[in-house]
Structure 1
Amino acid sequence: MYLTKEEEKILNGEYGWGLAKAMQVIVSVGDSLNSEKLIGITHAHISGVSYGNIGEPGKKLIKQFSDEGIKFSVKTTVNPIGYDTLDYDAIPFTKIDRNYIKGQEEVLRSLQKMGADLTLSCTPYYLPMVNEIKIGSSVAWGESNAVVYGNSVLGIKTNREGGPISLMAAIVGKIYYYGLHIEENRIPEIKYKVNKPENYEINEVRASIIGEIISKIHNNDKPPYLYEKLRNETTVKEFSASIGAAGNLAMVVIKGITPIKFNEKEINETITIDFNDIKKREDELKPNDKPDLIYFGCPHTSKYEIEKIAKYLKKVDNLKTQIVITSSRNEMSKIDKDVLNILKSKNVKLIGDTCLIVSPFGYHGLNVVTNSYKAYFYLSKKGINVSLISLDDLEEVLRL
């Protein structure tokens, strides 16, 4: 790999242990990928900051950087942790160990000391600072849904980086020139169309199932091209999350959404997905029993989604099922008092800083209904019975 003189100085330790260590990691991984050089990044989003994921080894590494006085070289945001920092006991069916909290707080102190913005959200694309990132800019993002959304919707460039890599990239402000940072690698070669009736609407659950199908059958190095209109922001977000959860794709070119220029005539293969296959999977994932808990917020809900949930709940006189919504503090700060009062009157748990899949939440045999394929994918692995409904079908589920 070619390194500039400045990069060589960093690697050789002329600017201290911390920068050298971070550069060594970035260069080693870049070399293994046959990357020709390093490129600058404008933003980093660090995943894997939950103490439940990184434990003592991760905590000690981050603290070591912090104690050395290392600062992040670019604007840096971080993923959710395992609990709400304002209410440790906010998540139903979950008890947070106080030693867990102690370990997590030390991780957060270290990250903040290094200059991170403790956003504690998996939706960095909703943050005002992200609007400052220009289309075509390279970033180093962890968090699979954010990576897919960033590439596919915002037109920024990032590979699917793990937590340690995004941490190191944030320190040195550089990443290896590889994969989706290279423009030609972002041009699709395979188109995916859905064979469906004219009045068949693709809601967020159906879009997620399409994402699952594409993730399983796409075998091309270039991103797939989805030749379908996704109806709203929730649908786009949940589609991105399903693509990231079900497979290892980091980008989908979405018709009418992805800011990229290419010649459609050069697409050499078209794969048709039959709506009956989507319907079959949708039926498999539908709830049959009354849920113990209804969950929205994986990825974190937007202000718009929270308002929509409140609108449906306003019509319900006697809500007997616990509803949990996880969101970022940024989005929660935008919510009107009237909406908050509706949620409070229905005993809805509006929780920040965390989500159910990175928290210790999990009771074997618990029945959870959600509109998130990603939540279904990960919570099912904990032995939880998870079923899927669109946010628009909330009233129907409440009648179970």
Structure 2
Amino acid sequence: MPTSRGSCSGSGVLLQLVQNGLAPKALIFHEEEEILTLGAIVSDQLFNKKVAILRVSKDIYSDLAVADKAEIFENTLVCGSKTIKLRGLDTETLNLNPTDRRMLNGDQGTANKIAMEAICKMAAVQSANELIDVTKGHIDGCILAHDANLIFAEKMYKLGANVSIPTTINAISVNRNNWENQGVEPDFGNKASRLADAYEKMGAHPTFTCAPYLLEDKPQRDEVIGWSESNAVIYANSILGAKTQKHPDYLDLFIAMTGRAPKAGVYLTENRIPKIEISVHLPTDFDDSIWPMLGWLIGDLSPNKIPLVTGLEMASPSDDDLKALCAAFGTTSAAPMLHINGHTPGKVYSIPSDLKNFNITKQHLAKLWNKFNYANLRVDLVAIGSPHASLTECQSFVKFFDGKNCNPNVKTIITIGRDILSKAKSEGLVEQLRSAGVQIISDICWCSITEPIFPPEASVIMTNSGKYAHYAHGLTGRKTRFGSLKDCAIAAQSGWAKYELPEWLSN
């Protein structure tokens, strides 16, 4: 295939395929690829199970794509009458400091040796000449999407792994302290807890949130960090002005252990320059549902390029609006950031005359609204918190209820990080929401919720998240309705979603 999709979790998927004996013998790409490559590196280093990773020219790739058979003999690829010489990764020319070399030589333990070896190989994959210091880490491989994540984490812990920089943990697969009371199957709950515990024992903070930018110690402008989790990476680069690659799962731990990352990609200023312009023709009036829709549309127009977004210079999106935009952008684009003129910190880019331009109009927004709203109007579940809800979102949801209660036939759930939950409790928001019939669950998020916490009887989901509107059917088999946060509150109370387009889209 040309390359992989770009999800941070793809490395773990490949490792699980290897563990199950179902991995392909080789993966052949003709574009840059890092995520599945990292999965193959980990499989080889930790488990001595190999998957060949090849990157070839487009011409060779085209020939291979129509061939019935190809064979690899050490450093040679044979396809029909063609024999293609292969060369391995060159890690010898990488400029390492003395600490890097001590880790690489095993002087700081087996775990650090494994971590530094993987980082050096990824540096070669990314054509980096040196490594860069990072000050914060964020772990994404903590969701029990499969057993490989648990096997990897526990093996690294047993080998002596420990993080060396402040490191947060993404949302996990269970409500860590309460899953036994929520009907979760014990085998799954125990494995998910062991996975979270492994990262905590390696020194990561048990934040259990997919929105680490909501924490007090969020990255600052120009701070160099090593994050995984797509929405967090995009928000950090695009809104906070920090610098991080979108690192594959497992590499996030290696970076947190060593405090070092390949100096490549958007760590380099020249690679943060937009390659495409997207002009937004903003309607005169709109509500907060526009922001996730814009993110989805922008990503759809720039699936693998950093876009320059114009037309929003006079708009005043809130932090929640920008959070929703970045998360939805990450569902349709593999790019680690976008430049929103007037809102992304740093240089304001002049637009080269040859920069390809696309437009987003009210008609595009209306078409996407219909795409997101394909389910019946009767709502069974209202899903808030993808990514995790902020304090201001909780405050707004309370205001929209205004003393009313949830319809008894509708489950309404907000997923939230521990830090925001604590603040919401201190403001009395949690008590008010629970009194209205709203469930508030920490640690997990909508990308990791499974039955029975996800109501088995629910067939129609209402959400304000473009990210979840995109992923929900694939994750749950259910259909969606989509709208603003206020629309979600109304649906929670009435049990019904709106049939018609929002007024601001229909005029």
Tell me the TM-score normalised to structure 2 length: 0.73
1:150: how far off?
Answer: 0.3
Partner of 1:389: 483
- Partner residue in 2 for 1:342: 432
Change (3 A) 1:219 1:355: closer
Letter in 2 for 1:66: Y
Aligned to 2:411: 322
Residue 289 of structure 2: SS of its match in structure 1? helix
Structure 2 Cα separation of the partners of residues 277 and 89 of structure 1: 45
Unaligned runs of 5+ in 2: 1-93, 497-507
**Cα pair distance change 1:71/1:220, threshold 3 Å:** closer
Instruction: Indicate the SS of the match to 1:13.
Output: coil
Q: Decide whether aligned partners of structure 1 residues 21 and 292 sit closer, same or farther in structure 2, where only a CA change above 3 A counts.
A: same
Instruction: Find the aligned partners of 1:388 and 1:90 in 2 and give their Cα distance.
Output: 30
Q: Which moved more, 1:362-371 or 1:373-382?
A: 362-371
Is the CA contact 1:45–1:79 (under 8 Å) kept in the aligned structure 2? yes
Equivalent residues of 1:329, 1:353 under 8 A apart: yes
Kindly indicate whether structure 1 or structure 2 has the higher relative contact order, using CA contacts under 8 Å at least 6 residues apart.
Answer: 1
Give the drift of 1:216: 2.1
Distance 1:223 1:276, change over 3 A: closer
| Worse-matched range after superposition: 70-79 or 222-231 | 222-231
| Pair 1:209–1:235, CA change in 2 (3 A) | same
Which of 293, 296, 299 aligns to 1:209? It is: 293
Name the counterpart of 2:201: 113
Partner in structure 1 of residue 469 of structure 2: 376
The residue type equivalent to 2:172 in the other structure is: I
Residues 282-321 of structure 1 mapped to structure 2, 5 A cutoff: 282-286=369-373, 288-316=376-404, 319-320=407-408, 321=410
Alignment of 1:47 with 2:140, yes or no, is yes
Change (3 A) 1:300 1:41: same
The answer as to 2:237 corresponding to 1:137 is: no
Match of 1:80 in 2: 171
* Structure 2 partner of 1:190: 276
Q: Which AA in structure 2 matches 1:5?
A: P
- Would the aligned equivalents of 2:380 and 2:458 in 1 still touch at CA under 8 Å? no
- Decide whether aligned partners of structure 1 residues 388 and 90 sit closer, same or farther in structure 2, where only a CA change above 3 A counts: farther
Match of 1:12 in 2: 105
Separation in structure 1 between the aligned mates of residue 320 and residue 295 of structure 2, nearest angstrom:
14
Residues 205-244 of structure 1 mapped to structure 2, 5 A cutoff: 205-218=289-302, 221-228=305-312, 229=315, 231-244=317-330
> Kindly tell me: are residues 288 and 37 of structure 1, through their superposed partners in 2, closer, same or farther at Cα, counting changes over 3 Å?
same
Residue from 317, 331, 352 that aligns with 2:442: 352
Q: Distance in 2 between matches of 1:242 and 1:104?
A: 26
Distance in 1 (CA, whole Å) between partners of 2:256 and 2:310 is 32
> SS state of the match for residue 351, structure 1?
strand
295-304 or 318-327, which deviates more:
318-327
Specify the alignment match of 1:103 in structure 2: 191
- Which runs of at least 4 in structure 1 moved beyond 4 Å after TM superposition? 362-365
Q: Which amino acid aligns with 1:86?
A: N
**Contact 2:109-2:160 at 8 Å conserved across structures:** no
The residue identity in structure 2 corresponding to 1:83 is: V
Q: Name the amino acid aligned to 1:224.
A: L
Letter in 1 for 2:397: I
Q: CA deviation at 1:219?
A: 6.2
RMSD (Å) for aligned C-alpha atoms: 2.1
Instruction: Report deviation, 1:230.
Output: 5.2
Structure 1 residue aligned with 2:501: none
Distance 1:225 1:295 in 2: 29
Percent identity between the aligned chains? Answer: 25
Query: 2:71 maps to what in 1?
Result: none
Alignment check: 8 A CA contact 2:140 2:249 kept? yes
Amino acid at match of 1:123: A
| Structure 2 CA distance for aligned equivalents of residues 326 and 90 of structure 1 | 17
1:174 to 1:368, Cα distance in 2 relative to 1, 3 A: same
Rate the CA distance shift 1:159–1:364 in 2: closer, same or farther, 3 A: farther
2:20 is matched with which residue?
A: none
Partners of 1:187 and 1:262 within 8 A in 2: no
Tell me if 1:63 matches 2:147.
Answer: no
| Corresponding letter in the other structure for 1:200 | D
Which string of whole-angstrom CA distances, capped at 9 and with x for unpartnered residues, describes residues 111-141 of structure 1?
12211001000000011122xx332121111
- For structure 1, which runs of at least 5 residues remain unmatched after alignment? none
Label 1:89 to 1:288 Cα distance change in 2 as closer, same or farther (>3 A): farther
Aligned residue-pair number: 391
After TM superposition, the score normalised by the length of structure 1 is: 0.91
User: Within 2, Cα distance between the matches of 1:192 and 1:299?
Assistant: 24
The worse-fitting range, judged by mean Cα deviation, of 110-119 and 142-151 is: 110-119
Give the 3-state SS of the residue equivalent to 2:481 in structure 1.
Answer: strand
Work out whether residues 81 and 358 of structure 1, in 8 Å CA contact, stay in contact via their aligned partners in 2: yes
Tell whether the 8 Å contact from 1:313 to 1:342 is kept in structure 2 after alignment: no
